[in-house]
Homo-oligomer: A and B are copies of this chain.
């Protein structure tokens, strides 16, 4: 039952690896894979090249690990505490509200959006990771939507996948616009839209 193997982190090496990821994640998120050099990460971490390559065998591997790190932080932050909402529909609204009002966990905006666009051309490994992350998110939303349907909060004929895609598209598109304009307005508009949409789906129920 006890695990004699190295726990999550204990050795010096493991903490160094974490430190590298913490510094590399925002860099990759801001500048993309090509726009970010090992030298940049050396400067950010204070390590030398050899010190970095000891922990990651290539830039690709480092980028992937950094993305996983960004993802973990982002999901943790976005998850929020939905238990404060009583009903599934309220949970959906809270989820949207939380997304809109929570600052990004990693500098440079939403890592999912950034990486999806950045890897559009190549890097299939990273691309798969992003796809998986979006699918998990979609599952979570559609699951809540299904619960809302089951709770008679939403019309029974609501397509939960459509709803999930809509929530994600609207929010991520708004993130892009918000970052471009350096203004929260698009995000707030997205929240309005999604709330209105949920109202509609609910009101039409009867």
Contact = CB atoms under 8 A, between A and B. Distances in A.
Contacts of A33: 35
A109 B114 contact: no
Given A162-B192, A193-B197, A113 B176 contact: yes
Number of copies: 4
Nearest to A172: B173
Contact of A162 (B116, B179, B189): B189
Interface in A1-46: 30-35
A48 interface: no
Contacts of A172: 169, 173, 176-177
Chain A interface residue number, banded: 35 or more
Nearest to A171: B173
Interface of A, helix, strand, loop or mixed by DSSP: helix
A118 B35 CA distance: 9
A52 interface: no
Interface in A157-188: 161-162, 165-166, 168-174, 176-177, 179-181, 185-186
Contacts of A168: 173, 177
Given A113-B117, A114-B120, A121-B35, A190 B177 contact: no
A131 interface: yes
A134 interface: yes
A117 B113 CA distance: 8
A51 interface: no
A186 B174 contact: no
A127 interface: yes
26 contacts: A30-B120, A31-B121, A32-B34, A32-B35, A34-B35, A109-B117, A114-B120, A120-B180, A131-B181, A162-B189, A165-B177, A165-B189, A166-B189, A166-B190, A168-B177, A169-B176, A169-B177, A169-B189, A170-B170, A171-B173, A172-B176, A173-B174, A173-B176, A193-B197, A197-B200, A200-B200
